Structure 1
Amino acid sequence: MATSFQLRKFRDEDSEAVQEIFTDGMSEHVPSSFMHILKQPPTQMVLMCVFCALMTSSKSFLLPILAVTLLLAAIRQLVVHMFKAYIDVSLKKDLHNISETYLKQKDSCFWVAEMDGRIVGTVACLPNENVPEALELKRMSVRRSHRGMGIAKALCRTVADFTRDRGFAAVVLYTSVVQKEAQHLYEHLGYEKTKEFAAPEFFAKIVNFTLFEYRLQFKKED
């Protein structure tokens, strides 16, 4: 079945839908982030030490199993808290007044993908202080129910066209180790991974929660 969507600039009445798409999209990463943390050697060592220590002292399986279960629940809750904190900060900053942040500033813009009168995807760009020759792609998200329709690719290409038309040499973006689908999309569109670094939070550094910088460099003849 053919699918039809249109891309357009953000309007103020889109704000609630945009915030919903962003919140849902970020919340999707909680399970994969939790699994990533469980696979890290420091996490496994702590769980094993707790289990063995309680096993030795209590001479019972029940207490160490209960303790490890509670520890796992605490780790997952910490992941939920970290994502919620990031979502809350974002909703209070650039996503609180999208027009002011993106549409009224130089070399910035915010687009939405609309299908059957419903906002189903978002993307934005703005100057990057650390990479002055590039614009940064931000807030790329598509509703889970509307993925696989080419919406994400169209949103990314819109940012690339906008950036190139304004004379910038590249598009940069940042994504995390757990966002596998996003990494595949960007690499398919010609982005190259240029940097890897740990997220700034202390807990993120301990569990090796890596962030990636991707760059789409425009050719001179483009």
Structure 2
Amino acid sequence: MQTENKLDFVIREIEINDTEVAKGIILEGMKERFGFLDYSFNQDLNDIMKNYIEIGDTFLVGVKNEILVCTGALTKEREGVGRIQRMSVKQEYRGMGFARQMLQQLESLAIEKGYKKLLLETNIEWFSAIELYKSTGYTIYENEGTQSHFYKEIG
């Protein structure tokens, strides 16, 4: 599975050689947003292949001009329901539509996997992420503490 567009941007499944860069993109984004990083969280990123790919979930990377610029994952929440996770774009590549393309690709894969509904969550103060999700048809069903929880019916 690989999608390309005219911007020389490719979305593809993660490969073993991508895992450290992907982890770095996600953790840098979190550090930027929170101002610090607690390494005891996010243990799934220490072995992306084991925690996503080997159990049948999906972890994608977006590559522009051979540079890994964004990530996104799709996991099974329960029968018929998937969860979008690990959406992150390198700071210098934000605002170029890569997150939107990643989200669209993950949604397409979710439909192929038979999911009827998708869930996701983001920090309540990450306004750009909230706007992206709202503009692509996601609805907030709960604001809990520091998190906004979204859903989208896809099938």
TM-score, normalization: structure 2?
Answer: 0.90
Q: CA deviation at 1:217?
A: 0.8
Instruction: Note if 1:89 corresponds to 2:25.
Output: no
The equivalent residue for 2:34 is: 30
The equivalent residue for 1:8 is: 12
- The CA RMSD over aligned residues, in Å, is 1.5
Structure with higher Rg: it is: 1
Equivalent residue letter for 2:48: I
Report the secondary structure of 1:125's partner residue: strand
Moved over 3 A (4+): none
CA–CA separation in structure 2 for the residues paired with 1:115 and 1:218: 28
The equivalent residue for 1:104 is: 54
CA–CA separation in structure 2 for the residues paired with 1:13 and 1:94: 16
Aligned residue-pair number:
150
CA contact (8 A) 1:192 1:214 kept: yes
CA–CA separation in structure 1 for the residues paired with 2:41 and 2:19: 16
Question: Higher relative CO (CA 8 A, sep ≥ 6), structure 1 or 2?
Answer: 1
Instruction: Note if 1:156 corresponds to 2:106.
Output: no
Q: 1:167-182 alignment to 2 at 5 Å?
A: 167-182=114-129
CA–CA separation in structure 2 for the residues paired with 1:94 and 1:158: 22
Q: CA deviation at 1:140?
A: 0.2
Q: 1:1-222 alignment to 2 at 5 Å?
A: 3-30=7-34, 80=36, 84-85=37-38, 87-90=39-42, 93-106=43-56, 108-128=57-77, 132-198=79-145, 210-219=146-155
Report the secondary structure of 2:85's partner residue: strand
Q: Describe the superposition over 1:34-77 as per-residue Cα deviations: whole angstroms up to 9, x where unpaired.
A: xxxxxxxxxxxxxxxxxxxxxxxxxxxxxxxxxxxxxxxxxxxx
Where does structure 2 lack aligned partners over 5 or more consecutive residues? 1-5
Q: Is the alpha carbon distance of 1:116 and 1:104 closer, same or farther for their aligned partners in structure 2, counting shifts above 3 Å?
A: same
Question: Which is richer in helix?
Answer: 1
CA contact (8 A) 2:142 2:149 kept: yes
